[in-house]
Structure 1
Amino acid sequence: MKRQSMQSLWIKRYIITLLTAILIIAFIYIVWNKENIKEHRLSLVQTLNDSIAVQTIGNQDKIKDQEIHEQYNDILKSFNATPKIIITDHKGQWLNSNFNAVNETRINTDILERENDYDIISTNDLNIPSTDHELYMLKTPIKSDNETYGYVISFVEKNKIDEVHIPFVPILLIAIPSIIIGTILIYYFTRQMTTPIHNISSAARKLSDGEFVTIDSHYKEKELYDFALSFNELSKQLEAHDQLRNELLAGVTHELKTPVASISGLLQAIQDDIVDETDKEEFIKLSLQESRKLNRLIEDLLVFNSFTTDAIKINSDQINLKEFIESTVTHFDYQSDNQNSIIECHNLIDASIHTDRDRLSQVLLNLLNNANQASHRDSTIEIHMNETLDSYNILIKDFGSGVPKDDIEHIFEKFYRGQNKRYDTRGFGLGLPLCKLIMQKLNGNIQLLETSSEGTTFIIKLNKKGVKNG
């Protein structure tokens, strides 16, 4: 399907609109002009009637044809018609006229008494010679001392009055320059409007090819300015995601390769009998430890992907929060590696809530593990509880060095790893993002409450309404 440019489309629309407007204006002008000309011509005839009526007061039967001809020739010198003029008495009896008529003929008094400025009558009603079947009839009473002595009546062929030759040349002289000038202007303005769109379109094609470009956003028009800002923000985000993807690919390769290589080396040493029996047992133990780490890394990826695709279902059950926290701490003490800290629980609330025990345990264990990694040896991790009108809150506080300022706004971004963890701690940067997803599923939330050089506090908010299965 061939598509038109916006500029050509707007120019076509403008020309169609302009031509339509010109036609409508021309039509209105023609109708208005014809009506004006008709009224003007009838007013000339009426003026002739009035002039004759003034002259005939008192001598209606003495006006000669030549005098009447001179009157209408002077007044209607520019009017291509010959009015038929009749003078009657007050009863409508013909007294005089500028054409041959039957003197016994009368004009119906009903017609004479009408108050219309003019009437349209048929030639069949009167014995008046005419090339048209319809006539305009205009009458002026002949009065003296408020007494009507007779009437001056003029008949004009209707087609002569209505026939108007419209001068189309002036209309064309206005229309053609208007179209040309208007087209030039609309071309200029649409070009001003479409040029930024072409620039953005070109930048978008580059963006789709992997070139993360930005565009000038110094536009006066608000819509274009907002569009350019949004595009630049999108480009920056895509560039950041592309960089993150590359780092993730490198990180996944490194994180998976390291334990695989370690396991392979240990098992190869055992197979080649280059270690004694005592070291073999230690090597097997180390291989199992590395395999567990590898398994944990793969599970993190699978679980996170399941949550992002909404494939994980919530199994809600009623739990006692105090017993749950104490049980989770015991579990952490048992299974954690390289534990540096002692966990202390304070102000635990003996309350029950409907939630998914396993998923909530996963969140709490992750926070405890992070706190343990951030803490110095033999330091303390504190767990506190409080409640608000709508939620039970679990606070996990460590006394480590805190979260770096540059990392604070990114800690819940998937695959993001802080500067201090990028090289010395294994993982994909999915721990806190996964906790965020889980808490949203559990109708709750997790936040970084505070952090400083003296430690960090995270808060888990559990809605008192709990969560349903699903």
Structure 2
Amino acid sequence: MKKRKTLLHLWTRNYVITLVIGLIVISIISVMWIRHTTLEHRLNMTVLLGEEIASRFVEVNGGEPEQYGDVPGYVTERNELLNLESDPTIYITAPDGTIVSVSDNQKRLFRFYIPSKLIHSENTVQQLNFDESTVGSYYMVKTPILFYEQLVGWVVLIESKEVLTKVNQEYQLLLIIVISLGLLGWAAIYFLSKKFVKPIEQVAFAAKQVEQGQYDVRLPDELGEQELYELVDSFKNMTDRLEQLESLRKELLAGVTHELKTPVTSISGLLQAVKDEVVTGEEAKEFLEISLKETNRLQHMIGDLVEFNSLHAKQFPIRNAKMEINQLINEQVKQWQITQEEPVDCVMKPLDNDLFIQIDSARLQQIIVNLLNNAKHSFDKVEARIEILLRHKGNQLEIEVKDNGAGIREDEQKNIFERFFRGEEKKYKVRGLGLGLPFSKLIAQAMDGDLILKESSEKGTSFLLTLPIYK
């Protein structure tokens, strides 16, 4: 069996991978941005340094080229003042680019003169790319030396790109920030996921308990997350419903067993009495007639079970034929009235206009008879009355069966379509398996319709059968 990993492990791992990739991308972009801004800042400072040196030469030497001198001390002083963090090579040149002076202890890229195209370029800052013998890239900053608006020379500062972009403290700070964000993100997702996963683990554990038949499960009541609350609440409602259905199943199984056992016991006792000649003559015939009635009732109950199982397994044929609905319902109601031992006041309100539909008349009669029998057994009043109302709404036919009986108890209404269910009042008054309403609902659904309890109270009960009208 494949070993599965916990949700906490998967979420934490995937988040950490995403976090690390994101931080790496951010770090690369940050390093590039730091290098770029550092380069721009230092080039600007180098430009300022060149302007300072040019002004200083004019001020000290009066613009005489032959008096140009070396300025290492001045440059160092200015570097510290401007916080340039570099020591560029400084060239003092004549107007044509001939080198007059250069700072000491620096790598000299130009020995005697600076190329004219560089000196006369309009760009103050220029990037220099030499041949393969020169390692790295360099930047050149040139500033004119003006004496009474006359060009008397140039101050040229050259520094390598590597030095200009070199930073240490910023990278260390960036590394600390990235590591801190990584640890904080991992801790946050771990503890948040742990809090989120805990109720799911509790629901999973409770599901295992339900699987083992233990319906008394405990789950947290107070959850701030809407989705988790709905999950837990739905599971608790499902568990309560399963517990009710399991209790109902045991009770109904016992009832069905009793209903099937009673006629068998009765038949066995009656036939044994006749066999042993405990009764003879007319009394023996009466015992045999009672046995036949009980046998017929037993056969009827077994037939109901077989039909119900066939319908539930979708092996129940529906044979539609074109019928006029007013005439069909009227005939079925009259047939039912004739078979009743006592007359029942049953009124039908037909459709205003004749309507022909495709319907399985035999299956529809089963539903109508079940609803009428159900209505008849609810009477506890002297003036009992049943109404059958037909309505045509859109592409549906509605058949409502109303009675003025005692009604169905509110706590029993949700279970009336459960197989083998019989209410407390009917359980002791009516013999049967409790398959009438569930069977009728399945037939209605097999015909693409439905059967619902519309309303029930002390004033009576109303069932609504809906069937499609095919054109």
* SS of residue paired to 2:427: coil
User: Which residue among 340, 343, 366 is the counterpart of 1:341?
Assistant: 343
Aligned match of 1:276 = 280
1:317 is the counterpart of 2:318:
no
Aligned match of 1:65 = 69
Deviation at 1:243, TM superposition (A): 1.0
Aligned match of 1:156 = 159
* SS of residue paired to 1:354: strand
Distance 1:234 1:214, change over 3 A: farther
User: Which residue among 362, 369, 374 is the counterpart of 2:366?
Assistant: 362
Deviation at 1:54, TM superposition (A): 1.6
User: Which residue among 409, 418, 423 is the counterpart of 1:418?
Assistant: 423
Aligned match of 1:85 = 91
Which residue identity lines up with residue 357 of structure 2 in the other structure?
A: I
Which residue identity lines up with residue 8 of structure 1 in the other structure?
A: H
Deviation at 1:156, TM superposition (A): 2.9
* SS of residue paired to 1:341: coil
Distance 1:375 1:148, change over 3 A: same
Q: Identity across aligned pairs (percent)?
A: 31
* SS of residue paired to 2:363: helix
Aligned match of 1:232 = 236
Which residue identity lines up with residue 269 of structure 1 in the other structure?
A: A
For normalisation by structure 2, the TM-score amounts to: 0.83
* SS of residue paired to 1:427: coil
Separation in 2, partners of 1:20, 1:275? 96
Distance 1:102 1:266, change over 3 A: closer
* SS of residue paired to 2:242: helix
Aligned match of 1:142 = 145
Contact 1:329 1:343 in 2 (8 A): no
Bigger shift: residues 225-234 or 374-383: 374-383
Deviation at 1:377, TM superposition (A): 9.5
Aligned match of 1:116 = 123
Distance 1:283 1:323, change over 3 A: farther
Bigger shift: residues 160-169 or 285-294: 160-169
The gaps in structure 2 that reach 5 residues or longer are: none
Deviation at 1:418, TM superposition (A): 1.1
Deviation at 1:205, TM superposition (A): 1.8
Pairwise mapping of residues 9-408 of structure 1 onto structure 2 (< 5 A)?
Answer: 9-57=10-58, 59-66=63-70, 68-76=71-79, 79=85, 81-89=87-95, 91-98=96-103, 106-122=113-129, 132=135, 134-165=137-168, 169-171=172-174, 173-212=176-215, 213-333=217-337, 335-336=339-340, 339-349=341-351, 351-375=355-379, 380-390=384-394, 391-408=396-413
Distance 1:255 1:63, change over 3 A: farther
Q: Deviations over 1:159-184 (max 9, x none)?
A: 44455556765455545555555544
Deviation at 1:239, TM superposition (A): 0.4
User: Which residue among 415, 422, 443 is the counterpart of 1:438?
Assistant: 443
Bigger shift: residues 310-319 or 165-174: 165-174
For normalisation by structure 1, the TM-score amounts to: 0.83
Q: Deviations over 1:129-175 (max 9, x none)?
A: x9747542211122345543432222334444455556765455545
How many residues are paired up?
Answer: 458
Contact 1:344 1:383 in 2 (8 A): yes
Bigger shift: residues 26-35 or 205-214: 26-35
Contact 1:30 1:166 in 2 (8 A): no
Deviation at 1:187, TM superposition (A): 3.8
Distance 1:367 1:145, change over 3 A: same
Deviation at 1:294, TM superposition (A): 1.2
Which residue identity lines up with residue 195 of structure 1 in the other structure?
A: K
Deviation at 1:463, TM superposition (A): 4.2
Contact 2:199 2:228 in 1 (8 A): yes
The gaps in structure 1 that reach 5 residues or longer are: none
CA RMSD for the aligned pairs? 3.5
Contact 2:407 2:460 in 1 (8 A): yes
Separation in 2, partners of 1:346, 1:120? 103
Contact 2:138 2:159 in 1 (8 A): yes
Bigger shift: residues 350-359 or 167-176: 167-176
Deviation at 1:113, TM superposition (A): 3.0
Bigger shift: residues 37-46 or 100-109: 100-109
* SS of residue paired to 1:266: helix
Bigger shift: residues 430-439 or 394-403: 394-403
